[in-house]
Structure 1
């Protein structure tokens, strides 16, 4: 593939893909029920086993 063709693809569809991934990660982190899981994960280093 030519460098310019790859650059055009990355400039357009690559940016769209990264934006969708970012939005999906935010939605996943803020889904209902995630607060409890995040609190449990935050307490793991403080547990004495």
Structure 2
């Protein structure tokens, strides 16, 4: 089996599953309980005084 065909079969099956799970994980991480407070703290880091 040539390399392109083998990689194509992998991308069509397990690669698609891995990308879907990654997408669901990112959505869950973004919308998790308590995430807003840490995101707000991180958003204000550049605005802190360095003095």
- Normalising by the smaller structure, the TM-score range is 0.7 to 0.9
Structure-2 separation of matches of 1:32 and 1:16: 26
Task: Provide TM-score, normalisation by structure 1.
Answer: 0.86
**Structure 2: where are the runs of 5+ without partners?**
none
Structure-2 separation of matches of 1:29 and 1:4: 36
Greater RCO (Cα-Cα under 8 Å, separation 6 or more): 2
**Runs of 4+ with deviation above 6 angstroms:** none
Q: Partner residue of 1:41?
A: 42
Query: What is the CA-CA distance between 1:35 and the residue it aligns to?
Result: 0.3
Q: Partner residue of 1:19?
A: 20
Task: Provide TM-score, normalisation by structure 2.
Answer: 0.83
